[in-house]
Amino acid sequence: MIHLVIVAFLVVASTIGVGLFLTNYPLLPLQASEQAVNIDGLFDIHWWFIAFFFSLITVFVVYSVIVFRRKPGERGDGVYMHGNTRLEIVWTIVPIAIVLWLAVIGADSLATVERRDPEAITVDVFAAQWNWRFQYSVEVEGGTVAAVVSDTLVLPKNQQVLLRLHSDDVIHSFYVPEFRVKQDVLPGGEEFTRELRITPNLEGTFKVRCAEICGQLHWDMQAEIQVVDRSEFLSWLQEQAGDCELSPEECGQRWATQFGCLACHSLDGTVVIGPSWQGLYGSSEELSDGSTITVDDAYLHESIVDPNAKIVQGFSAGVMPQTFAGILTEEQIQQIIAFIASLQ
Ligand SMILES: [Cu+2]
């Protein structure tokens, strides 16, 4: 009897100690969304279970090894036991009850995390090897809707955002550890569009990382997220929705950044995935069929809208996305060409 009391006391004491350590030690990344609060609550419950079972096993093993060790002169035989119906019933019913309870609180948390806010703003997220593009629809004067494309995901604090996730090529996954929630991004068009709801509640800069291995530069498939207050968000959006009033070259640079060209094309002569744009305009280039061309406006235009028409020597066809003809306006293409021409 005295053994049971001591063991029970040690198990309780150890559970409290280990549980407090696990739930207070910063084991998880910063908590930056309303959804994270709920998910971390589930984590805490599991930490307490882990603390209890860890203590139960450790205390029994250590206690037995020390207190019931074989003393000099004792024979090494244990007591032979066969079956214990009451124990069997208890250790069947208790785990079933625990698992059912976990299922209930799990379902409840899932419902909270996926709660729809009718005020939510919608952002279309496009994943492609190996960059992210974020598209907002903004009402400009006259009630027309302009699309704002950005390589940074800017979000207002304390407002739910509905992310509609699309992939241009293979399966990617949208994951921001600070927001906790994660969702695979599938190719295949509208039917395969997936949704994710996030309510950021902490201002700051975070990173979205691709969490599904998707090729050579998967590790580098990151984009910045800025959570700002609501008025700052709205003025950023209005500014982006305005026409590009910079010079053609500067607008071209803006599009090349926003549409992810610079993820594959460097401006300093290094080869990332595609040829560098430095000194490209006006140079002579060898193509994979052995011929040579001079890089002019017509060639650049074709390289953007129909990348497979001519392949640069040493590179492969089919790597550059084939979809820019449908995404960029003619004006944007001209401005990108002007930007490339300025990189001498
Ligand atoms: Cu990816």
Q: What are the tens digits of pLDDT across the range 267-294?
A: 998 888 889 999 999 999 999 888 999 9
What separation in Å is there between the alpha carbon of 132 and the centre of ligand 1?
A: 9
What separation in Å is there between the alpha carbon of 222 and the centre of ligand 1?
A: 9
SS3 (DSSP) at 299: helix
Q: Residue 258: pLDDT above 80?
A: no
Q: Which residues pair with 287 in a beta bridge?
A: 312
pLDDT of residue 169: 87
What separation in Å is there between the alpha carbon of 236 and the centre of ligand 1?
A: 27
What separation in Å is there between the alpha carbon of 52 and the centre of ligand 1?
A: 39
Q: Residue 8: pLDDT above 80?
A: yes
Query: In angstroms, what is the C-alpha Rg of the chain?
Result: 30
Q: Residue 296: pLDDT above 80?
A: yes
Distance from C-alpha of 317 to C-alpha of 313, rounded to nearest angstrom? 10
Q: Residue 93: pLDDT above 90?
A: yes
> Using 50, 70 and 90 to split pLDDT, how confident is the model at 146?
low
> Using 50, 70 and 90 to split pLDDT, how confident is the model at 140?
low
What separation in Å is there between the alpha carbon of 220 and the centre of ligand 1?
A: 9
Name the helix (H) or strand (E) containing 174.
strand 172-175
Compute the average pLDDT of residues 35-53. 92
C-alpha dist (Å) from residue 328 to 133, 149, 167, 259, 335: 13, 11, 17, 9, 11
Q: Residue 11: pLDDT above 90?
A: yes
Q: Residue 142: pLDDT above 70?
A: no
What separation in Å is there between the alpha carbon of 210 and the centre of ligand 1?
A: 5
Q: Residue 263: pLDDT above 90?
A: no
What separation in Å is there between the alpha carbon of 322 and the centre of ligand 1?
A: 17
Which residues, 6+ apart, have CB-to-CB distance to 167 below 8 Å?
126, 127, 128, 185, 186, 187, 188, 192
> Using 50, 70 and 90 to split pLDDT, how confident is the model at 78?
confident
SS3 (DSSP) at 128: strand
> Using 50, 70 and 90 to split pLDDT, how confident is the model at 327?
confident
> Using 50, 70 and 90 to split pLDDT, how confident is the model at 186?
very high
pLDDT of residue 182: 93
Q: Residue 144: pLDDT above 80?
A: no
